[in-house]
Structure 1
C-alpha cells in the first residue's frame, strides 16, 4: 500500500486532526508495519524521540518538526493544513475539487460527482465518532455549500441525489449543533432544511431519519408525547428500508417509555430489533446508519428497557453489547456508566 493509501485509515486521520502526534505515530506504525526506528528515519527523528512522543513524554509543537512529519509521512493535502489551535481544516480530496470545478464550468453535475461528495461525507461521519463534530464542522459546511451551488443546473436523478446529499449534510450539522448545546435554535433550523430537502428528493429513508432525530430532540426537551407522534409518523411514512424503520421505531419506543406506556415501548423496541436483524451487513444499510450493528441494536434495546425501568433487561442487553463497542469510545463510556447504574437498581 502506498503511503497516501495508509491515510485512508480512519483512526490515523482522526489522530492527525487532533494533532495528537503520539497517537499519529502509533497508528501510522500500526497500518504501515514500520518500527519506531524506521518511522523516525522518515521524519528526521531518533528512535528514542519517537518513543517518548508515543509515551506522552514529549509534545511536538514546533512548526518545523510538524512540517517534517507532514512531508515524511506524506500526509494528504486535505489533511495537511491545520490551524494551530487544533481545529481541522479538512478540504475535499483534490479529485473531488476537480469534479466540482468541471461541474461549475459546464453548468452540469453528474452522478459521479454526487457519489464522490457522498464518499467524503461518509468518511467525516465516521471520524466524528472519535474527534467530535466541532473539528469537522468547517469542511462539512463547505461541502454543503458546494452541493447547493450545483443544484440550480441539475434535474432528474442527479438533482434528487444532490438534494438527498444536502439533506444528509444538513442533518449532520444539526446533530453536531445539538451536541454543542445549540438546541433548539441552530440544531432545529438545520433539521428543518434537511426535512425539506429529503422530501423534495423523495428520499424516504432520509426523511424518516430526520423525523427520528426531531423526535429525539423533543423527548430530550421534555415533550415525549409529541416525540412519540413524530417518531410514529416517521416509521409509518414508508416504504422504508428495515434499518431506517428500526431506528425510527426505537425512537418511538423511547418516547413511549417516557410517556409511561411500557407495553408499547417493549413492542416497538422488539420490532426494531427484528428489523435490524434483517440487515446485519453494513453495505445493506443506508450510509448514515453504518453504525447500526447488532451490538448497537442491543445497546438501544437496553436503553428502551432502562427508560421503562426494566433494569435487569437493560443489564442483559448492555452486558452483551459493550464488548463490541470498544471502537466507539464515547458510546462505550456512556453505556458502561449506564450499565453500572442499572446493575445497582436490579
Structure 2
C-alpha cells in the first residue's frame, strides 16, 4: 500500500500568533481530483481535533478515510468536479509539525517546548499551503467541529480568499460547557503520573489519562438520546465483566473502554493538549472589537452553508445560527440546515446521507 500523504514545507521561520516561531515546519495533506486550468475548483477541508489528512481513499492509498462515503467520484463531494485538499492541522501528530515532532534546534521532540498553538496558526499554515499550490482563491472552504473554527480563523485573517464556505457543527467561540469538558480532558492527562510534564515514552505512557480524556470526549460527541436507544441499561454477561471491585458492569462502560483503547496509542498526548487548548482560546469576536456579528460581517463570501444538529451539546444549534446570521450580515447568500440526527456532535461522521445531501445540493449551486 502506498502513502497518499504529501508534505508542504512552511516558510521559515513560521511565526506563531502568541509568540515563538517554527523552523523547518511542514504540513501533511492529501488531495483528490484535478485542479482545473483556471485553478478555480479547489475545496479545502479542515478536520476535527483527531483525524489525519486521509479523508477518503485514493489511488495512492486505498484504505478507507474518515469521511470515505462523502468524498470521491460521483459522491456528495464529487472529485470529478472538485479538487479536494484535506490538511492535517498544524500541531497535530498525523504528519504535520507538532509537539511530537523533532525540534531541529535540539534534535529532540519538542514536547512542551513547542510554541503556544492557536487555530489562527493552523489557518495561516493552511493558507501558505494553498498559496504554495498556486491557488489564489478557494472555490470552497469546509470545516467541521474544531476545523470549522479553524475555517472561521482562515476567513477572518483572509476575508477575500474564499468564494463559498461550508460550516459544520462548529462555533464562533468556545462556550463554557465545551471549555469545561476540554479542561477536564486535559486535567486527566496532566494528572497521570506517566505524563511526567510531557516527558513520556512508549514504555512510560499516560495510558489512563488519555483513556479518561477520550471517554469524556465520546460522551459529549454523542447524545443521551442515542445512548438510551443503543445501550439502555443492558448489563455485560458475567464473562465480559472485569473482576476488580467497581469494574465495568454495563454495556455503555464497555463501549467507552473499547473506544478509548482504539484511540489511546494512536494520538500523541501533548499534541492533544495543544489542540484542545487552541480550541478553547479561539474567539472570532477578536476580529470585531469583541462582537461575533461584527467579526463575521468582515468576511466576504458569495455563499455559505451552515449545518448543525439539534442533539449536539458540545457545539449547540444556537451557535450554528449565530454563524449563519453573521455571514448573512456580511452579504453572503446563506443556507442554514438544522438536522435532528440522534448522534449529536458526531453526526457529521455518521449520518452521511443527510449531511451529504445538504452538502451536495449546496455544491451543485456553486
The verdict on a shared fold, with TM-score over 0.5 as the criterion, is: no
Q: In terms of Rg, which structure is larger?
A: 1
Q: Which has the higher strand share?
A: 2
TM range (shorter): under 0.3
Q: TM-score if structure 2 supplies the norm length?
A: 0.25
Q: Which has the higher helix share?
A: 1
Q: TM-score if structure 1 supplies the norm length?
A: 0.26
Greater relative contact order (Cα < 8 A, sep 6+): 2
